[in-house]
């Protein structure tokens, strides 16, 4: 509720403030339960108060464009950092580190376009290292078709580094972005900005967070056709964690809240690449 309220409130008139809060509370009162999927809850709350086109939508469209430009400036040095890895595994893990570290969107309303200063510092001595849980490299090596669920504009540029590495390893890649402006989340326009439409094998759009149990038929077929799911960001973690059935899943994010820190056994603020595939061991 805080995440949605904080992003809509600055663009509402005085009369709309109480209505927004009331609408969000009503949705949550009806939908929250022990088995509720948080990604689905986010989709429902956003649909109830966020409309495109609107003042809020226009604001986030401009914010996303600036984020993309900021990311594009840093990408050349980010690519150099990846290529400097001594082995294919190290290059892939460096790309994952950059993509996960770029997941900087705050839980409250963003104060401006992301500058990705965290990425600029990666590679320096003293930079905190990512937490790898499970074997992401082996998970990708064993896959034939990866479904990659993107998160925000700007950071999708760093996702392109991971996609490039996956393609070198052999699997096909289908990329999922949002169908329309969804706060600062990446849409088709943002994927095209970084040339991902020319790299991936498929590019599809979702109406909100990619929550498996409520997907329309077309997206369900896309999910069924892959054998590994990679989800970027907090929203993807909350929508996909424990929801991919027998398929292994990889989550790349910066931990921003206590519940996810406890679930992943990490600390708030840490960069995590978590593989949920118990059957994958070793190198």
Predicted local confidence at residue 110, as pLDDT:
83
Residue 278 has a pLDDT of: 55
138 and 229 part of one domain: yes
d(CA 93, CA 136): 8
215-265, pLDDT tens digit by residue? 999 999 999 999 999 999 999 999 999 889 889 999 999 999 898 999 889
Judge if the upstream peptide bond of residue 53 is cis by omega within 30 degrees of 0: yes
Query: Best-predicted range by mean pLDDT among 111-115, 141-145, 180-184?
Result: 141-145
Q: Are residues 33 and 71 in the same domain?
A: no
Q: Which of 146, 149, 158 shows the shortest CA–CA distance to 99?
A: 158
Are 43 and 82 in the same domain? Answer: no
Q: What is the pLDDT of residue 266?
A: 92
pLDDT above 70 as % of the chain? 96
Same domain flag for 30 and 83: no
- 154 with 32, same domain: the answer is no
Per the CB < 8 A criterion, the answer to whether 179 and 206 are in contact is yes
* Domain around 266: 62-276
CATH code where residue 270 lies: 3.40.50.10880
Beta bridge partners of 273: 132, 252
Average pLDDT over residues 263-278: 89
Both 176 and 247 in one domain: the answer is yes
Residue 283's pLDDT is what?
45
Pair (6, 89) in one structural domain: no
Whether residue 279 has pLDDT greater than 70: no
Q: What share of the chain is helix, strand, coil (3-state, %, to 5)?
A: 50, 15, 35
Is residue 115 in a domain?
yes
pLDDT of residue 125: 53
Backbone CA torsion sign across 6, 179, 161, 167: positive
Contact 131, 270 (CB under 8 A): yes
The C-alpha atoms of residue 236 and residue 252 are separated, in whole angstroms, by 9
Q: Is 283 within the bounds of a domain?
A: no
- The owner of tokens 């840490």 is 270
Domain-located, residue 244: yes
pLDDT value at position 213?
A: 85
Q: Which two tokens stand for residue 167?
A: 């393609």
Q: Is residue 281 part of a domain?
A: no
- How many CA atoms lie within 13 Å of 204's alpha carbon, on the beta-carbon side? 22
39 domain-assigned:
yes
At residue 281, the pLDDT reads 45
Q: Are residues 87 and 115 in the same domain?
A: yes
Q: Is the peptide bond before 258 cis (omega within 30 degrees of 0)?
A: no
Q: In this structure, what token pair is assigned to residue 31? A: 């939908």
Same domain, 213 and 264: yes
**Scanning the structure block, which residue is given the tokens 């590019």?**
203
Q: Is 150 found in the same domain as 104?
A: yes
Per-residue pLDDT averaged across 194-217, rounded? 94
**The tokens of 201 are what?**
């094998």
pTM for this prediction: 0.91
Distance CA(56)–CA(14), nearest Å, equals 14
pLDDT at 144: 97
Mean of per-residue pLDDT scores for the chain? 90
Q: How many domains does the chain have?
A: 2
In a domain, 97, yes or no: yes
Pair 98, 212 in one domain: yes
pLDDT digits (tens, 9 = 90+) for 45-61: 888 888 877 788 888 89
**Bridge-based pairing state of the strands 228-232 and 249-254:** parallel
Same domain, yes or no, for 40 and 85?
no
Average pLDDT over every residue of 80-89? 96
**Domain assignment of residue 10, yes or no:** yes
Please indicate, yes or no, if residue 57 is contained in any of the structural domains: no
| pLDDT tens profile 129-169 | 899 999 999 999 999 999 999 999 999 999 999 999 999 99
Q: Give the pair of three-digit tokens for residue 7.
A: 């992003």
| Average confidence (pLDDT) over 116-134 | 79
Cα distances from 187 to residues 35, 149, 152, in angstroms, run 29, 11, 8
Per-residue pLDDT, 131: 92
């Amino acid at each position: 509720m805080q995440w949605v309220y904080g992003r809509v409130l600055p663009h509402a008139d005085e009369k709309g403030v109480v209505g927004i809060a009331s609408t969000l509370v009503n949705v949550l009162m009806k939908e929250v339960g022990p088995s509720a999927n948080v990604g689905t809850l986010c989709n429902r709350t956003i649909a109830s108060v966020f409309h495109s086109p609107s003042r809020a939508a226009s604001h986030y469209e401009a914010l996303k464009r600036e984020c993309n430009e900021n990311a594009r400036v840093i990408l050349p040095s980010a690519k150099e950092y990846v290529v400097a890895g001594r082995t294919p595994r190290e290059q892939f893990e460096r790309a994952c580190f950059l993509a996960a570290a770029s997941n900087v969107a705050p839980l409250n309303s963003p104060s401006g376009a992301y500058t990705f200063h965290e990425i600029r510092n990666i590679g320096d001595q003293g930079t905190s290292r990512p937490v790898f849980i499970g074997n992401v490299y082996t998970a990708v090596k064993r896959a034939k078709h990866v479904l990659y669920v993107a998160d925000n504009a700007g950071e999708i540029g760093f996702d392109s580094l991971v996609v490039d590495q996956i393609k070198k390893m052999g699997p096909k890649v289908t990329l999922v972005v949002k169908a329309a402006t969804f706060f600062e989340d990446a849409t088709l326009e943002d994927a095209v900005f970084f040339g991902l439409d020319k790299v991936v094998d498929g590019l599809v759009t979702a109406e909100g967070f990619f929550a498996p149990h409520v997907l329309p038929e077309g997206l369900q077929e896309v999910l069924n056709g892959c054998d590994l799911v990679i989800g970027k960001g907090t929203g993807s973690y909350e929508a996909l964690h424990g929801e991919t059935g027998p398929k292994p899943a990889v989550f790349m994010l910066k931990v921003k809240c206590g519940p996810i820190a406890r679930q992943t056994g990490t600390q708030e603020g840490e960069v995590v690449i978590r593989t949920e595939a118990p059957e994958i061991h070793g190198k």
